Amino acid sequence: MLAVVVLGKRPKLCSRGRWGEGEGRGKVLIVGPMARNRAIHNDRVAILLLPKSEASNVGDHGEGEGGSVALGAVVGVLERERRKYVATFEEKAEESRGKTERVLVLPYDTRIPKIRIGTRQADLLRSHRIVVQIDTWSSASQYPDGHFVRNIGPIGDVETETAVIMIEHGLSFPTFSRDLLNELPERERWEVEVEEEEKRRDLRETHLVFSIDPQGCEDVDDTLSVRHLKKGVTELGVHIADVSHFVRPGSLTDAEAQRRSTSVYLADRRHDMLPPVLSAHLCSLLSGVDRYAVSVVWKMDQNYDVKSVWFGRTLIRSRYKLSYEVAQQLCDGAAASDIRGDIPELLNLDLSQQELEKRLEELRGAVKTLSEIAHCLKQRRGEDGAVYLDSFEVKVVMGEEKGTANIEDLVPKQHLDVHDTIAECMIFANHWVAKKIHSSLPTSSLLRRHPPPSQTRFTHLRTCAGVRGFQILTGSNKELAESLDNAVDPHDPEVNKIFRILATQAMSQAEYFSTGSVSSYHSTGSSVHSTGSSFHSTGSPDQFSHYGLALDYYTHFTSPIRRYADVIVHRQLLAVVEEEKRGEREREKLPGNVQLAEYCQHMNSTHRRVCEGKIIAQQSF
């Protein structure tokens, strides 16, 4: 029996094997070079399924269900992955004497076999990393034949190793073309257009809008506002950069943003999805300047239950660009004299002490109210089964000079309460936008789902917890969340953190999808704050749901400067809003289900490669 699979990763307990990810079937194990038959990682191949009598009991340790697995042998390569590979010369290679010789090079990716290339530069490049490409692989040869593409640089150099990570993960961020840049407005000459001012809700004078971001952040996607209205009503606003105004479908800027899919943040650099004139200036919601935004504004009662919600385009002027640390100090009651120097918008103003105190108290009150709302939202999601995980992150502090010597320090990232405040507000906005677009575009809205993990992925967590005398239940997200909350050692607070890190490692990956390509088991609800139901790891969960966040509908709306998915979601939301306002068929301009599914596949693939690359980059430092 024949099947078609894509050659994938190595099983943990079978170093000679590779998983074949089936098209329309489960995994197939292909063991040994003979069975692989010159196929390499990510090739699409035809395989012959071997008899059950030859089935393997190779375990998977969390990558599958364990037990007996199907075995196969490659009978043909249907589609070779055409990509370039980073490689180095073997140390034992003889000197080339300046002649063109056929030599074997070692790919950086250990899943790829040695590649034979012809070169006369072997002596010069022996301590360098190079790029090669496979051309052919004869059935009579142990190794594939390829050719030299280019030299990257000396092994160990920061620029070289960073380039290696980008190449190996298929990430390309070239300089933006002149034609693309010519599409964009000039930064110095840009001003608010009269037409836009007339059709947008103007919040510049009526709302205290501010941002809270990491120190030094240039691409400010999101700002917030909060006001106390009459009769105990609180108004919460999340205002997101209106990237879709500047990046139009069919433009060169849109095509390049779609190709890149995301911005990439490494320890010493940032690769932007959008040109700097947009990402760091015209779209960035910096303080003291007029900016276009797309806003979600809720009116809530005294219990922070939503009574109404408004979606639409706005015109804002952020008053403060706060760092997380300063926002936390405000919440903690820092005095004006201690904090004024850390708020640039106040530093150079000629204010009396009374006026300074008044402005700071206004800002402090807004941040504290946000914190109260976020605490309530988080508590409700927790009751519905949200899983609060943990990870260990290190901030690499870089010096000014380039090279390995510019690493000044490695500092564990400190978690602050205000991080949760901002996260909850963004999650809330993403959830409400997801419900809005899905209710109007049920077969072609872009959502984000998080499937429940396989139970076998929790084996390590349950074992480690058992050694410390704790039982971790994993039948649903609610059971897992409650078990983690109870697994606390009063004498060692790090124990619970370790359990949460292990739970993080057990999670499946969240992914973008078009709602027309996945069937849902129930229709859209109109709940005010989440679904009130936990999602099980067995049975038939709602295929739209987000296991970790315990939400029935979720998407990405709040970071359009750095994520292309958010740009699409903005277009969908605004099309829905315009249809409701004018009655015109705006949705016909949007991508349909098939095209949207293709976008999602590309964005999911890019996201995975970026995450893998960032992990390796962090480890390199």
Single out the residue in 79, 106, 140 at which a domain terminates.
79
In a domain, 252, yes or no: yes
Burial 369-405 (b: 16+ CB within 10 A, else e): bbbebbebbbebbbebbbbebbeeeeebebeeeeeee
**For the chain, how are helix, strand and coil distributed in percent, rounded to 5?**
35, 25, 40
**pLDDT-based confidence at residue 101 (cuts at 50, 70, 90):** confident
Q: Is the pLDDT of residue 187 over 70?
A: yes
Question: Range with the lowest mean pLDDT among 99-103, 370-374, 499-503?
Answer: 99-103
**pLDDT-based confidence at residue 618 (cuts at 50, 70, 90):** confident
From residue 181, alpha-carbon distances to 80, 178, 192, 259 in Å are 35, 5, 20, 16
Paired with 296 in beta bridges are: 238, 311
> Same domain for 335 and 469?
no
User: What single-letter amino acid sits at 246?
Assistant: F
> Same domain for 301 and 334?
yes
* Range 327-352 average pLDDT: 89
Question: Can you spell out the DSSP letters for 29-87?
Answer: EEESHHHHTT--TT-EEEEEEPPGGG-B----TTSS--SSBEEEEEEEEEE----EEEE
For the chain, the domain total comes to 4
What is the pLDDT at residue 349? 82
> Same domain for 424 and 554?
yes
In a domain, 69, yes or no: yes
In a domain, 145, yes or no: yes
> Same domain for 149 and 193?
no
Q: Of all residues in the chain, what percent carry a pLDDT higher than 70?
A: 87
pLDDT tens sequence across 136-153: 999 999 999 999 999 999
**pLDDT-based confidence at residue 175 (cuts at 50, 70, 90):** very high
pLDDT tens sequence across 257-302: 999 999 999 877 899 999 999 999 999 999 999 999 999 999 999 9
Question: Range with the lowest mean pLDDT among 46-55, 331-340, 609-618?
Answer: 46-55
**pLDDT-based confidence at residue 532 (cuts at 50, 70, 90):** very low
What is the pLDDT at residue 539? 31
Question: Range with the lowest mean pLDDT among 83-97, 146-160, 563-577, 580-594?
Answer: 83-97
> Same domain for 111 and 186?
no
Q: What is the spatial distance between Cα 324 and Cα 423, in angstroms, rounded to a whole number?
A: 12
The torsion of the CA quartet 119, 120, 125, 131, rounded to 10 degrees, works out to -20
In a domain, 54, yes or no: yes
Q: Is the pLDDT of residue 531 over 70?
A: no
Q: What is the spatial distance between Cα 437 and Cα 426, in angstroms, rounded to a whole number?
A: 17
Question: Can you spell out the DSSP letters for 172-229?
Answer: --PPPPHHHHHTSPPTTT----HHHHHHSEE-TTT---EEEE-TT-----EEEEEEE-
> Same domain for 45 and 102?
no
In a domain, 390, yes or no: no
* Range 526-553 average pLDDT: 63
Question: Range with the lowest mean pLDDT among 201-210, 365-374, 576-585, 601-610?
Answer: 576-585
In a domain, 409, yes or no: no
> Same domain for 513 and 422?
yes
Instruction: For CA atoms 157, 162, 167, 172, give the dihedral sign.
Output: negative
Here the CATH number for the domain that contains residue 50 is: 2.40.50.690
* Range 340-347 average pLDDT: 89
Spell out the residues 6+ positions from residue 395 whose beta carbon is closer than 8 angstroms to its own: 410, 411, 412, 413
Find, among 611, 505, 511, the residue nearest to 556 by Cα. Answer: 511
In a domain, 240, yes or no: yes
> Same domain for 298 and 333?
yes
* Range 585-596 average pLDDT: 91
* Range 356-376 average pLDDT: 96
Looking at per-residue pLDDT, the higher value among 246 and 9 belongs to 246
> Same domain for 336 and 422?
no
**pTM for the predicted model, two decimal places:** 0.88
In a domain, 369, yes or no: yes
* Range 367-393 average pLDDT: 92
What is the pLDDT at residue 414? 84
Residue 609 has which token pair?
Answer: 């490669």
What is the pLDDT at residue 541? 41
Q: Is the pLDDT of residue 520 over 60?
A: no
Here the CATH number for the domain that contains residue 94 is: 2.40.50.700
> Same domain for 337 and 458?
no
pLDDT tens sequence across 387-423: 998 776 766 666 666 555 566 766 777 889 999 999 9
What is the pLDDT at residue 96? 57
Arithmetic mean of pLDDT over the chain: 88
What is the pLDDT at residue 533? 45
* Range 566-584 average pLDDT: 94
From residue 217, alpha-carbon distances to 206, 222, 284 in Å are 26, 12, 10
Looking at per-residue pLDDT, the higher value among 561 and 123 belongs to 561
> Same domain for 223 and 324?
yes
Q: What is the spatial distance between Cα 60 and Cα 28, in angstroms, rounded to a whole number?
A: 12
Paired with 508 in beta bridges are: none
Q: What is the spatial distance between Cα 264 and Cα 279, in angstroms, rounded to a whole number?
A: 13
> Same domain for 600 and 516?
yes
Domain that holds residue 241: 178-377
Q: What is the spatial distance between Cα 510 and Cα 604, in angstroms, rounded to a whole number?
A: 9
Question: Range with the lowest mean pLDDT among 29-33, 50-54, 276-280, 567-571?
Answer: 50-54
Spell out the residues 6+ positions from residue 85 whose beta carbon is closer than 8 angstroms to its own: 107, 108, 109, 112, 115, 131, 132, 133, 134, 168
